[in-house]
Amino acid sequence: MRRPLVVGNWKLNGTRASTRRLLSEIVAGLKSDVTSEAAVCVPFVFISQVAEQLADTGLLWGSQNVADQDHGAFTGEISALMLKEFGCRFAIIGHSERRHIYGESNVLVVERFKQAITNDLHPILCVGETLEEREKDDTFNVIEKQLSPVMEIAGVESFVNAVIAYEPVWAIGTGRAASTEQAQQVHAYIRKIIAGFNKSIAENLRILYGGSVTAENATALFSMADIDGGLIGGASLNAQSFLEIINSVK
């Protein structure tokens, strides 16, 4: 049975003081009987602070990216080995903002994904279509093009320790979430692609929804058969909202 997962993506937000305060509030509000696993993926500069503050709590942590190399002359990159040294469990890979703003290709995303897997980090692989692509009824084709290189290069076995997040680009930070039916349809399609290679891995793979998830719409979204939790942006920066989302998973 797949354990639900809720991950906060803080993006380019926070200070040392606000990080300390937010984490304290989240940890204090976590219920002992919560059924979901929860984590926060924070800016690189806060990972050391987060690791110290969250040790021996129920809240896990991770990074918002990982280098496609393990060491060397790659200015500005952070390796999986470095992240593991600070106890990171997860690393977000291929977020739409990395793909569309910073030009990360499908091939580069695969190399980052492989580095995470090789070094025992759990990659959260993001896939999703733009508004133009959805309006052209091209969603499934886009998803397949984003997943295929990972399957071909890293292999389906890599998904034993991975997570996929479906994030429609048109719903990220816009306040416009996909309907429960739209989200479920794409999640089911993703699971079908993986099942074409290995049915058991597909059945156990956690697929998250991301895109303007709020405390108000989380329960309906997470009740869908193939939605196993969420990758939460803005709402994860408010302890009460994030806790309500975590607790909405049944």
Give catalytic residue positions. 95, 167
Distance CA(89)–CA(39), nearest Å, equals 9
C-alpha distances out from residue 239 to 21, 27, 226, 244, Å: 9, 9, 26, 9
DSSP state of 4: P
Q: Tell me if 45 sits within 8 A of 32, measured CB to CB.
A: no
Q: Tell me if 42 sits within 8 A of 19, measured CB to CB.
A: yes
Under 8 Å CB-to-CB from 24, ≥6 apart: which residues? 53
| Cβ-count burial 194-213 (b if 16+ within 10 Å, e if not) | beeebeebbeebbbbbbbbb
Helix then strand then coil, in percent of the chain rounded to 5, is: 50, 15, 40
DSSP state of 58: S
